[in-house]
Structure 1
Amino acid sequence: MGSPDFLTPRPTSPLTQIADELDLIGSVDRETFERQLVGVHGEVPAELVGADGVTKVVDALREYWQSAIAPYWNRMRTLLTADISYRGHVVTQRGTGVMLNELGPAISYGDGLLRVDRVSEVSRTESVDGRGLVLQPTLFGPHAVIPMDVGAEPILGYPPRGQANLWSVVDPPSRRDLAQLIGTARTRILELLTHPRTTTDVAAELKVTPSAVSQQLQLLRRTGLVEPQRTGKQVLYKPTQLAALLTGTEPD
């Protein structure tokens, strides 16, 4: 049994927050909400009948996030971000076809056709039609995930690399030891990068000039501890997996 597509909206940004996702789910129209529930369950569950059905789903998801996922999200996101970076590296070094063929045993690509084998009696072929295919690593299942609705926005969920290491424990060095290793200023910058931030943001937090922070960020980038990420006209800096292990504060 799958899940309704409205529960897994296509990401609009690599920096999407849970509040954004819940807003998207909360904006689903009643017809789509009921049709997709019927497609999965054969009917609209009794608890979701009525005008407040969507609100009930959003409230339940928010509560689930806070209790079951949020405490571990930093660790999860570190693994997911590492997988995305790896896939991008494969594309640049070996090509898109190789990257797609390495997503999982049920996923194969050749001659312009991406094939996803699923345990289902239903078979269908869809054209991306220039809409772009979003690849989304997911920790919630070992199999490839595709939209249930015919004509839905193209998105492919796949299990990321390294899931077996998700709960491994590594004791980070103390703050004092880390400061001796890379310097107090750079240690403080890494501690501030719990989520991607601009040079100006970090400078304001530290009450120093942006140029001073820029010099430190460039050194951290060259040593593999931070990486830039362009979003629109902004360049955000985020810690790498190596930095997360050093600081013990995995990126948000």
Structure 2
Amino acid sequence: MTAYVRYESEGRACWGVVDDEVVAELAAPPFAGEARTERRLPLERVRLLAPTTPSKVIAVGLNYRSHLGERNAPTEPGLFAKLPSSIVGPETPIRIPLDARTVHAEGELVLVIGRTAHHVRREDVHHHIFGVTAGNDVSERDWQRDDLQWLRAKGSDSFGPLGPRIVTGAGWDDLRLRTRLNGQVVQDARTSDLIFSIPEIVAYASRYFTLLPGDVIYTGTPGTTASLSPGDRVEVEVEGVGVLANPVEAGQ
């Protein structure tokens, strides 16, 4: 497996590949292949950013049986969109809008597209996925229930934490996913429990949206989700990827 990051260095955003806790700078995003520069920095000395800057942020709802409750299992992936401006990186605060009342964390495995995908067959999906990372599909439940669309509920600023790294070569069909709130495990599942598999999700989405390198798909959240309040700290851990940690603050 290979791990890629985006990080801030000397006031600019850089791409890098991680090797033995050292970041080797890349001259360009890695989706079309690595082009390393001569620059190296210790990983502990860089501030990590969200590991991609997607043009599209797609998500799948109700994709674990443990999250269905009394609802019937869907017959096809239930897609919705988050805004690219909702994406934030590790340790960046999740800011709860002042008029929000019921904000929940949703830990998820997130796919990162590496090659343009349009009407892709399931058996070819692996050619179009660059890697996986961890994500938090932060959601305001009252807005999700009452608004005409889920735009506020899912797409508000900071409602899409992502990171800490993109990992290639991971066995995405069976990875452990855990969410912790203030150190307590509140979600624990494996991606083998997804109702719709990763090939099914990407093939289905690519029928309707041309997926570009760097775009992401949140694949769904398991179990019961946890309510967030200012002062909390939420962590999403994906096996082989690492821990995406974000504090929670009151917004404006």
Report the TM-score, using the length of structure 2 for normalisation: 0.25
Report the TM-score, using the length of structure 1 for normalisation: 0.25
Question: Highest relative contact order (Cα 8 Å, sep 6+), 1 or 2?
Answer: 2
